[in-house]
Structure 1
């Protein structure tokens, strides 16, 4: 990466951090989450948003685990690549899009 790209990436990360920090400072009031069977959870709104994000992250990772495991098992049991196959002929490939 060039120095300019690194600088722009750092500035973008800093801007996102400060925007989220300002959001957290502006949402410190208590909120109530009504759970099942009459239970309630009272906490600052930012804590509730953070908990919802973390829960979504966990559910997403758990949903992706079966696919990761099946690809890992398929890769582990795949036969080694054959080196005696002829290389592909470049003349048979399609020209770039738009040409």
Structure 2
């Protein structure tokens, strides 16, 4: 099997998915309302390791100051990092997080 991690496609490696949601708000005093904006960033990648025991499969979820949310997933299987549902369901272990 050949392995590759090009153009956010992970084949033959452990795959990663990281998402970040930043929530910001601004007050509009004239209209008497609050505007809330959410920005979502997503990045897919690969981890090529020789010792697979150093990788912990699954996802971790972190909130910071109720303004920023981060999800980090590690999965095993070709293209398992294509979206959050697939990454979190792909052969995940009971514990969550990425260990290196």
Fold similarity call, TM over 0.5 = no
Greater RCO (CA < 8 Å, at least 6 residues apart): 2
**TM-score, scaled relative to structure 1:** 0.19
Max radius of gyration: which structure?
1
Q: Which has the higher strand share?
A: 2
Q: Which has the higher helix share?
A: 1
